[in-house]
Amino acid sequence: MKQYLFLIIFFLVLTACQPEAPVGQPPPTLFVPDSVQHSQSPSPTITQIQPEVSTQTATADVEVLFENSFEEEDPFPADGSLWSKVRLQTGPGQPESTWERSTEVAHSGQYSVKLFAAPGTEDQGFTCGKASMKKLGLPIVIGDTVTYSAWFYLPTTDVPVHLMDVECPGECGLMGGPGVRVLMTRDGRLRLDWKFLNWYKNMGQPSPIDAPPQPQKGTHILPAGEWFELTLRMTLDNQGRGLTEVYVNGELDSAIQGTNIAPEGLEALNKYPQLEVGINCNVVGNPDTAVLYVDDVRITRQITPTTPAAYPAPSTQTTEPVTAFATSPTSPVVPTEPIVSAEDFALVHPGLLSTQEELEDMHIAIQTGAEPQTTAVAALLAENANLTNYKNHQPQAVNIIEAKFRGSDETPGHESARLQMDAEIAYGAALLWIAYGDTAYADQVVRIVNAWTNTFERMEGENVDLIAATSWPAMVWAAEIVRHTYNGWDEAEVAAFESLLLEKVYPFTRAVDDIDRGKPGPGNYQAWGIAARMSIAVFADRADLFEQAVADYRTMIDGYVLTNGQPLELCRGDGDLFHTQMGMMPLLVASEIAANQGVELLSYASTQSNMTLLDAFRFVAPFVAFDSRTTDTTHWPCQKPLGEHPLGVTPWPGWELACTASAGDEHIADVADYVRDWYGGSDYFSKLGWTTITHPCK
């Protein structure tokens, strides 16, 4: 292996700098509605705060920007003085969403507005049923302190819905109407959603370090069958000194300090011109239709706003909300210059699934006939024997990929399948180059990568985010190995592939969002997005993007690994081991890449359950291929009996890596021994395969 390019590797631990608190500033005067009673709240965390609230109403003058009680016969006058529009959205086959002025119940006067919406459907664009009122053209910008209030009447609180959205809609040029959203959860409590972070995601920028993680729920249980007032009050700031508060009937429900509007460089978007109230989303999978009444909507702005700089300095928390991942961008971009310099943080190369030392160990093992690597390499060579070999494959690059799942199209040559096949062969060829030192294998990797670099233009279609996140990483892993161990790849070609990844792939991996797809929380879509972003970050030597992927991993684990280690997707469809493993494996990939960069993620424990990703592997291990092994499955938690799910209990490749990472945990090792017979391969091998070669568990 004389053609290795040995690197002098150094790594300095990146530490976040704690911003200094402002000097000489008086404490802020927090807004409190009349007759406030300070409700009991959980202990403060570094991002979700319980302010010391005065019992006196703020004395600053306010400007009324909008108010309406639905007493007018036409809520949508041509002069735009009242509501701008009503939004009704109904999925195929569902009852039509409706709105009407109603005298059934009213908070004041004779009328309220009654809204009805069925749950969304799985159809593209219809995952939310909607029946809501919109007010556009509001002159609300960064620096303002603005208060939104509305009275709601819920016949029942059994159906979780989105009640209030403050946002910048399509006029701002970004999909998803980024802003701040107030949700009612399944247990009848309120929770904030940082939808404004879509700005950062769609621009390919890391979220601000002060951006709070998934906000906790509020303290109030919303009443059914009676009116209550929901108040959202915000001081808008993008430097970490904003304040977002939610009140229920004048009592503080939750308060979070930090950035709550667009970042620097997007000043034209530093505005929230729209308020949407009502049933803003009855998400697919909800148990029933939603009905509610709205009355007495009011928006005010403080004329002498509280100075944002007076708020406490933001924390150095680097995690970001699980629900903030944007929908697929129309014009994705990524920063062209690193935000964190290499002087602060040096990435290790090769440093994705395997380091230089690990690759050398692999070469020695195969050259000396060590097992199980030698047999596994023979299986790798045989895997594609009926298709081509790893030296003479002709790349199948296309300029446009209509993204579809493997198996969703009967045509073997479909664009998505071509990308997956080329990625598989590239990664296999890279491993064979290391195993045998034959430059023909390295040349095969270069040929495949260059073909896609010179041909590929864009991805489109319903599943563009998932296909981008699952199909490109194997090619990136191959490119990382060859780039740093072979001197036959021209630097200009390397740079061109790097640009392709940053400009045409990375933004779509940032677009993955299980929540917006109607899923109950973070799952395999989001997990693959994290693995893909971390892979691209290291290959492109972008420490800033790597740091963001690390933060994304931690945030996902917070909501993904439940009590006792159960992964969130396990009982999807009443027991889905396939998609559960499809989510666990990319998180394992991310943790391995991070470990190779000196960052320990595998032991990171969820802030909600205190469980780690390894706990999830231990929990799931007895169920995988249980019908072919002797295991204890008595703790199976799902409604459908184990094994009845149509996708079965087949193991995904990658358990060997989990075994190595867990230092041979008994339950995980048992699965790894079984999967070793497959040598890490499967129909989904392009996502993660051949770990018996790279990470044998002995």
Q: What is the pLDDT of residues 256-312, one digit of tens each?
A: 877 788 765 554 467 888 899 998 788 877 778 899 999 999 999 987 533 333 322
Higher pLDDT residue, 194 or 104? 104
pLDDT of residue 640: 79
Count of Cβ atoms closer than 10 Å to residue 222 Cβ: 21
Residues 6+ apart with CB under 8 A from 130: 87, 88, 89, 97, 117, 278, 279, 280, 281, 282
The answer to whether residue 337 scores a pLDDT higher than 80 is: no
The answer to whether residue 658 scores a pLDDT higher than 90 is: no
3-state secondary structure of 655: helix
- 656 contacts 672 by C-beta, under 8 angstroms: yes
pLDDT band at 167 (very low <50, low <70, confident <90, very high): confident
The answer to whether residue 11 scores a pLDDT higher than 70 is: no
250: which DSSP letter?
T
The tens digit of pLDDT for each residue in 578-608 reads: 888 889 999 999 999 999 999 999 999 998 8
The answer to whether residue 248 scores a pLDDT higher than 50 is: yes
pLDDT of residue 645: 67
Higher pLDDT residue, 676 or 221? 221
The tens digit of pLDDT for each residue in 523-567 reads: 788 899 999 999 999 999 999 999 999 999 998 998 899 888 999
Percent of the chain with pLDDT over 90: 34
Q: What are phi and psi of 566, to 5 degrees?
A: -65, 125
The closest of 636, 614, 631, 629 to 676, measured between CA atoms, is: 629
pLDDT of residue 298: 96
pLDDT of residue 335: 42
Pull the structure tokens for residue 638: 């799902």
The answer to whether residue 27 scores a pLDDT higher than 50 is: no
pLDDT of residue 273: 86
Going from the C-alpha of 511 to that of each of 76, 295, 520, the distances in angstroms are: 35, 36, 17
| CATH 2.60.120.200 segments of the chain | 67-304+312-321
- 178 contacts 271 by C-beta, under 8 angstroms: no
- Torsion angle of C-alpha atoms 338, 342, 348, 350, degrees rounded to 10: 50
Higher pLDDT residue, 22 or 179? 179
Higher pLDDT residue, 466 or 331? 466
Q: What is the C-alpha to C-alpha distance for residues 553 and 239, in angstroms, rounded to an integer?
A: 24
- 534 contacts 546 by C-beta, under 8 angstroms: yes
The tens digit of pLDDT for each residue in 465-518 reads: 888 888 899 999 999 999 999 999 999 999 999 999 999 999 888 755 443 443
Peptide bond just before 27 cis, omega within 30 deg = no
Higher pLDDT residue, 460 or 29? 460
The answer to whether residue 47 scores a pLDDT higher than 80 is: no
Higher pLDDT residue, 101 or 523? 101
When the pLDDT of each residue in the chain is averaged and rounded to a whole number, the result is 76
Cα-to-chain-centroid distance, residue 426 = 28
CATH fold, domain 67-304+312-321, is Jelly Rolls (2.60.120)
Q: What is the C-alpha to C-alpha distance for residues 247 and 164, in angstroms, rounded to an integer?
A: 13
Higher pLDDT residue, 299 or 462? 299
623: which DSSP letter?
G
- 31 contacts 276 by C-beta, under 8 angstroms: no
pLDDT band at 355 (very low <50, low <70, confident <90, very high): very high
- DSSP-assigned letters across all residues of 635-649: T--SSSPTT-STTTT
pLDDT band at 67 (very low <50, low <70, confident <90, very high): very high
pLDDT of residue 247: 93
Residues 6+ apart with CB under 8 A from 610: none
The tens digit of pLDDT for each residue in 390-418 reads: 898 899 888 988 876 544 444 444 777 78
Helix, strand, coil % in the chain, rounded to nearest 5: 30, 15, 50
pLDDT of residue 512: 54
pLDDT of residue 137: 85
Q: Which residue shows structure tokens 């061109």?
A: 496
pLDDT of residue 14: 28
pLDDT band at 214 (very low <50, low <70, confident <90, very high): low
